[in-house]
Amino acid sequence: MLNSPEGHISITGVSKNFGRHKALDNVSLEIPPGTVTVILGPSGSGKSTLLRTINHLERVDEGFIQIDGDYIGYRRQGDKLYELKEKEILRQRVNVGYVFQNFNLFPHMTVLENLIEAPVAHRQLSKKQATERAYELLDVVGLRNKADAWSRHLSGGQQQRIAIARALALKPRVMLFDEPTSALDPELVGEVLDVIKTLARSGTTLVVVTHEIGFAREVADQVVFMVDGKIVEQGESDAVLNRPQHPRTRQFLSKVL
Ligand code: ADP
Ligand code: MG
């Protein structure tokens, strides 16, 4: 159900400024389809900004991002890029699921209503089909018995698992996670990481910003370390986590481990 051979993210020379501050400074990164990339780095290093540009929630100032060859937020004509219309951007965003630190479920809806809203609104599925898919997704996150609960009555860990299911409802090629467990009580972190691990095995391309080094070690194909808007180190998780070369990576890892 979740398998997809798609989801190749290609980031080429991306820079993003906020006023005079360079939040991203010439970032290039290849994320092969079906792989898990963990992004590490101190606060303010540009991790969230990088994720947001992959969804065109931030417009880049230089460079470009492609998913499976399509320019994110742009259409190429000759050697020029033209920004897509809002409607086309929304259509493109269907390919990219996004999970935030703070769940962002609709509190006035039941769990089931949260899960069927987007596919029905995007006319991807009928209400009946969306309901069937919602139950499949509830099985993926282990919460079928909460279908009729109010989302505000769930624990933080359960809400985040529903937020993941909701992001999957549109069958994205790529899932982006921005510190998905950092707002949770420690005892609830594991259940959310377990769901992400299940997705990792399903072949969806995952990009995860997290400080959970154990998770990175177990699941990541690639680890990227950012400082001041730049990628200072990247490679296989074992190499970056166990034999970091850059002093900032060493310093960071010695603090979080
Ligand atoms: P991280 O997620 O690694 O903590 P961010 O990507 O959130 O870092 O931020 C990178 C830098 O860009 C920070 O200095 C932050 O203050 C700045 N920044 C992020 N978003 C905005 C914005 N909308 N306006 C101005 N500055 C921003
Ligand atoms: Mg952030």
pLDDT of res. 104: 84
Ligand of minimum distance to the alpha carbon of 23: 1
The structure tokens 């360079």 sit at 22
pLDDT of res. 115: 97
Q: Which atom of ligand 1 is nearest to the CA of 226?
A: 3
Average pLDDT, the chain: 94
Walk across the sheet containing 205-209 and list its strands: 96-99, 174-178, 205-209, 36-40, 222-227, 230-236
Distance from the CA of 197 to the center of ligand 1, in angstroms? Answer: 28
Rounded to an integer, the average pLDDT of 35-42 is: 97
18 lines ligand 1 (CB under 6 A): yes
Q: Which atom of ligand 1 is nearest to the CA of 209?
A: 2
Over the range 46-75, which residues count as b (16 or more CB within 10 Å of their CB) and which as e? bbbbbbbbbbbbbebeebbbebeeebbbbe
CB of 89 closer than 8 Å to CB of 56? yes
Tokens of 37: 């990339």
The answer, yes or no, to whether residue 5 has pLDDT greater than 80, is no
Q: What is the C-alpha separation between 257 and 9, in angstroms, rounded?
A: 29
pLDDT of res. 155: 95
Q: Which of 16, 17, 18 is the pocket-test mutation for ligand 1 (most atoms within 8 Å of CB)?
A: 18
Q: What is the C-alpha separation between 248 and 63, in angstroms, rounded?
A: 26
Q: DSSP alpha helices (H): ranges in the chain?
A: 47-54, 86-93, 111-121, 127-140, 156-168, 186-202, 213-219, 237-242, 247-256
Residue type, 91: R
Distance from the CA of 102 to the center of ligand 2, in angstroms? Answer: 12
41 lines ligand 1 (CB under 6 A): yes
pLDDT of res. 1: 43
Indicate which residue's Cα is closest to atom 25 of ligand 1: 18
Indicate which residue's Cα is closest to atom 23 of ligand 1: 18
Model pLDDT for residues 206-234, shown as the tens digit of each residue: 999 999 999 999 999 999 999 999 999 99
The answer, yes or no, to whether residue 73 has pLDDT greater than 60, is yes
Tokens of 230: 């730049």
Contacts (Cβ under 8 Å, ≥6 apart) of 167: 97, 98, 99, 175
Distance from the CA of 180 to the center of ligand 1, in angstroms? Answer: 17
Q: What is the C-alpha separation between 239 and 237, in angstroms, rounded?
A: 5
- DSSP class of residue 110 equals B
For 80, the 3-state DSSP assignment is: strand
Q: Which atom of ligand 1 is nearest to the CA of 43?
A: 4
158 lines ligand 1 (CB under 6 A): no
The answer, yes or no, to whether residue 102 has pLDDT greater than 90, is no
- DSSP class of residue 45 equals S
The answer, yes or no, to whether residue 203 has pLDDT greater than 90, is no
The structure tokens 């180190």 sit at 233
